[in-house]
């Protein structure tokens, strides 16, 4: 197998899943806090739209997206005061493809991209596919994982650095970068001739402060690229519909060429999501309200667990928690393989998988708020009991 294949890490989100299924088969209740798959039902409008489609043939869609879908994305962005032309958007197979297309558009083999760790673990895999390097800058849990000063960021820029990649709101931390933080990144991008790639798939999940998009920053309109997805905001993860958007038409045209190589994005799913994109807040607000309640429950209940380090996540539906353990991977495996509390256990995502720096995040885990509030409280009771029983 290739070096690239061998060096691509297993997902920390999924690698304990098989063990969790075995525990379930033995009658143990497993609380899955490892993965960001919303548990709320998808809007019936999606399925009604599919049933009402009058199609005689499932043909290829245009490589940049169906006209109806592109117009729907334009309508969607207008609700956030972002005005885009049709040629400034390409529909992608989920946000993942948008990220890969952006990296392949701005980087050559061996170039590097600055990321702030902890970061979305699949950035590692996307970097392997694109044959580039991630250049990590560590953030601190004590600061709620907000950005360091510009001088600290600039220390990491090399002659091969081509872009800064952020996730805002952040997976895995739930941090929302302020407008001032984004303007700081914009000035760095201008000074060092970099692109600013912004993964904004959790845009609606903002509980205390609004999200500033990089497309709101006029000073870097030709350097800003938004990487987007319908998956989480509409709870349609299986539809695999995303988008890449930028006022830099050369970037979008490059992505279009990559899109032609993969032919097209699924046509039925593009059409099914048009009503949601056209009137997004109708569908997103109930979901956001529910996850705000869950965020508050997790934050409140963590206070009852001795020795943990945490903060108030401002958005998304994740939190990185520091545990009083030396090795969170070992703890997470022991928890799902051996431990039970009143016939219950918890599946966690160990922290190191969200870092590129060796040994970073060794005592951290990511929790996803994918259960009803009462179930989340029960899961945290299990974690508390596990920590009191754990022997390192």
Whichever domain contains 172, its CATH number is: 3.40.640.10
What is the value of pTM for the model shown? 0.96
Only one residue has tokens 């994740």, namely 318
Residue 243 forms beta bridges with which residues? 91, 228
The residue-averaged pLDDT of 139-149 equals 98
Residue 224 forms beta bridges with which residues? 196
104 lies in the same domain as 222: yes
50 lies in the same domain as 149: yes
Phi, psi angle pair for 22, to nearest 5°: -65, -40
**Cα within 13 Å of Cα(388), Cβ side:** 11
Its sign, for the CA torsion 282, 284, 285, 290, is positive
pLDDT in tens, 175-234: 999 999 999 999 999 999 999 999 999 999 999 989 999 999 999 999 999 999 999 999
Q: Which residue has the higher pLDDT, 290 or 3?
A: 290
DSSP 264-303: ---HHHHHHTHHHHHSHHHHHHHHHHHHHHHHHHHHHHHT
Q: How far apart are the first and last CA of the chain?
A: 36
Angle between helices 17-25 and 328-337 (to 10 degrees): 20
Best CA proximity match to 143, nearest among 89, 189, 181: 181
Of 279, 313, 346, the residue at which a domain comes to its end is 279
Query: Please, which pLDDT band fits residue 5 given cuts at 50, 70 and 90?
Result: confident
Q: How far apart are CA 190 and CA 212, in angstroms?
A: 18
Of 279, 307, 324, the residue at which a domain comes to its end is 279
176 lies in the same domain as 272: yes
CATH number of the domain that 377 lies in?
A: 3.90.1150.10
Cβ atoms within 10 Å of 242's Cβ, excluding its own? 24
Of 262, 279, 296, the residue at which a domain comes to its end is 279
Q: How far apart are CA 203 and CA 263, in angstroms?
A: 28
Best CA proximity match to 343, nearest among 22, 32, 29, 33: 29
Only one residue has tokens 């999924």, namely 14
- The pLDDT of residue 230 is 98
250 lies in the same domain as 162: yes
Q: How many domains does the chain have?
A: 2
**Cα within 13 Å of Cα(147), Cβ side:** 27
- The pLDDT of residue 353 is 93
CB distance 336 to 372 below 8 Å: no
- The pLDDT of residue 6 is 82
Show the DSSP H helices in 141-273 as ranges. 150-154, 179-192, 249-261, 267-272
Write out the residue range of the structural domain in which residue 188 sits.
44-279
Query: Please, which pLDDT band fits residue 92 given cuts at 50, 70 and 90?
Result: very high
CB distance 73 to 278 below 8 Å: no
106 lies in the same domain as 163: yes
Q: What's the burial of 330, exposed, middle or buried (CB within 10 Å: 0-12/13-18/19+)? A: middle
């Amino acid at each position: 197998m290739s070096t690239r294949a061998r060096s691509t890490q297993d997902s920390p989100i999924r690698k304990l899943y098989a063990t969790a299924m075995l525990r379930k088969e033995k009658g143990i209740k497993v609380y899955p806090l490892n993965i960001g798959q919303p548990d709320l039902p998808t809007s019936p409008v999606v399925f009604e739209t599919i049933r009402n489609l009058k199609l005689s043939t499932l043909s290829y869609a245009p490589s940049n997206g169906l006209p109806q879908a592109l117009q729907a994305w334009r309508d969607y962005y207008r609700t956030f005061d972002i005005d885009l032309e049709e040629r400034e958007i390409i529909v992608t197979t989920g946000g993942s493809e948008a990220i890969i297309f952006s990296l392949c558009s701005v980087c050559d083999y061996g170039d590097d991209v600055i990321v702030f760790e902890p970061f979305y673990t699949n950035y590692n895999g996307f970097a392997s596919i694109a044959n580039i390097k991630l250049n990590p800058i560590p953030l601190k849990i004590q600061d709620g994982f907000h950005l360091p000063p510009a001088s600290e960021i600039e220390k990491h820029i090399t002659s091969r650095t081509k872009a800064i990649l952020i996730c805002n709101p952040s997976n895995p931390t739930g941090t929302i970068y302020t407008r001032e933080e984004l303007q700081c990144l914009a000035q760095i991008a201008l000074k060092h001739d970099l692109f600013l790639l912004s993964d904004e798939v959790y845009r609606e999940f903002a509980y205390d402060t609004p999200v500033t998009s990089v497309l709101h920053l006029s000073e870097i309109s030709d350097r800003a690229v938004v990487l987007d997805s319908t998956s989480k905001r509409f709870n349609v993860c299986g539809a695999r519909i995303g988008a890449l958007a930028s006022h830099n038409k050369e970037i979008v045209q490059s992505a279009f060429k990559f899109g032609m190589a993969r032919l097209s994005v699924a046509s039925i799913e593009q059409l099914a999501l048009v009503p949601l994109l056209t009137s997004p807040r109708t569908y997103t607000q109930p979901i956001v309200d529910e996850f705000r309640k869950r965020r508050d429950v997790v934050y409140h209940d963590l206070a009852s667990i001795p020795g943990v380090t945490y903060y108030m996540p401002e958005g998304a539906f994740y939190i990185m928690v520091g545990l009083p353990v030396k090795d969170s991977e070992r703890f997470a495996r022991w928890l799902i393989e051996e431990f039970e509390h009143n016939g219950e256990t918890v599946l966690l995502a160990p922290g190191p998988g969200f870092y590129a720096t060796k040994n970073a995040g060794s005592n951290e885990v990511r929790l996803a708020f994918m259960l009803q509030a009462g179930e989340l409280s029960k899961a945290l009771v299990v974690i508390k009991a596990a920590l009191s029983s754990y022997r390192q």
